[in-house]
Structure 1
Amino acid sequence: MSYRRSAGAVPYPVRVFDDDTPAVANLDPALLGALRRAAADAAADGVEFVVNGGWRSPEYQAHLFAAAVLKYGSEEAAARWVATPGTSAHVSGNAVDIGPAEARAWLSEHGSAYGLCQIYRNEPWHYELRPEAVEHGCPPLYADPTHDPRMRRGRTA
């Protein structure tokens, strides 16, 4: 089944200023504001951010998780890469996947000044808003989502 942009699918990277793409427009306003401020400053350094993933409907997230189970062979293995709809920060609009590599490198160096933090060591593209990072830096990375306590709720059997 192919998912539409209205469900949060991003068939091709979009700019962080694209208000017509639900994956961007439906992000949490605080996350989107921080992301856009960072993108504007990165552009001054010659670095362009694109969104490869952002807000997703629960149905689309369930589809992505089911596809990961098929790919990796079990729910446990899939959970290292894709969250269930009940645990995904994408479904709540609180996570964004950023590209290209130059943008991720810029964010790894400057992101905490905007509260934008990489959360998982195995997902260098996945960023979430941590406002306390502006003062205290980003928290330590989880190895992957299975180490994140937030991922223990809403898991399927």
Structure 2
Amino acid sequence: MNRTTPPARTPSRTYLLAIAGLAAVIAVLTLAFSSWPRTSSTASNAAAHMSRQGHQGVADGVVPDGVTVFDDATPAVTRLDPELLKALRRAATAAADDGVAFQVNSGWRSPSYQNRLLREAVSKYGSEDEAARWVATAETSPHVSGDAVDIGRSAATAWLSEHGAGHGLCQIYENEPWHYELRPEATDHGCPRKYADPTQDPRTRQ
């Protein structure tokens, strides 16, 4: 008896359509993954862009929200003059008994950050002379030397206005009720007379 070879089975139309659809999906996924940005590359590009734009960060003295005088990680606080920082922490401890917290809006600043703030002030106020009433140069600013701190919240500045001298902490400029510096003699003799603004401070005329 002769054996006959069974006829080859022809793939169904449904099967062929499924194979074609799967191939199309694979092609789309391959294209998507090949053009997907790599995380490290994106981060590097962002960092390079930030550098080109001259942006400063926490390391330059930028203060994140919620920082207090007791912070031990933020350079704007830790790079303040040690005696100023001690006085601030003593005052903040006393203020806490009255339900008042000291928030740091600005403290130590790098020269590049100070220069950036000055450029922004010139743009905001329209001239270098007017900007100088609010922002000193990097060469003369007590923030750059770590000798000044800007305290946030009106309750804190009001408390310092009344009690700061007892801790050697004084408001220096009439137009900046948030700006405090250490004047140790104030504990016995009171704070010195305020300057109208930084342009009246001999230190800024160097």
**Same fold judged by TM-score > 0.5?**
yes
Identity of aligned residues (%): 67
Deviations 1:63-92 (A, max 9, x none): 000111111111111000001001100000
TM-superposed deviation, 1:112: 0.3
Does 1:45 find its partner at 2:109?
no
Residue in 2 aligned with 1:15?
68
Map of 1:70 onto structure 2: 123
Q: Secondary structure at the match of 1:14?
A: coil
Q: 1:109 aligns to what? A: 162
1:99 deviates by 1.3
Q: Give how far 1:13 is off.
A: 3.8
Q: TM-score, normalised by structure 1?
A: 0.95
Q: Report the Cα distance in structure 2 between the residues aligned to 1:13 and 1:28, rounded to whole angstroms.
A: 21
SS state at 2:137 partner: coil
Bigger Rg over Cα: 2
Q: Does 1:152 align with 2:205?
A: yes
TM-score, normalised to structure 2's length? Answer: 0.73
Specify which of 83, 86, 107 is matched with residue 33 of structure 1: 86
Map Cα deviations across residues 110-148 of structure 1 (whole Å, 9 max, x no partner): 000110000000000000000110110000111100111
Unmatched 5+ stretches in structure 2? 1-53
Match of 2:59, SS? Answer: helix
Q: Which residue of 1 aligns with 2:190?
A: 137
Q: Kindly provide the amino acid, as one letter, of the partner of residue 29 in structure 1.
A: P
Q: Which runs of 4+ in 1 moved over 6 A?
A: none
- Counterpart CA distance in 1 for 2:66 and 2:150 is 10
Equivalences, count: 153
1:88 to 141, 151, 156: 141
Q: Partners of 1:78 and 1:140 in 2: how far apart?
A: 22
| TM-aligned CA deviation for residue 3 of structure 1 | 1.5
Give the root-mean-square deviation of aligned CA atoms.
Answer: 0.8
C-alpha separation between the residues in 2 aligned to 1:32 and 1:108? 18
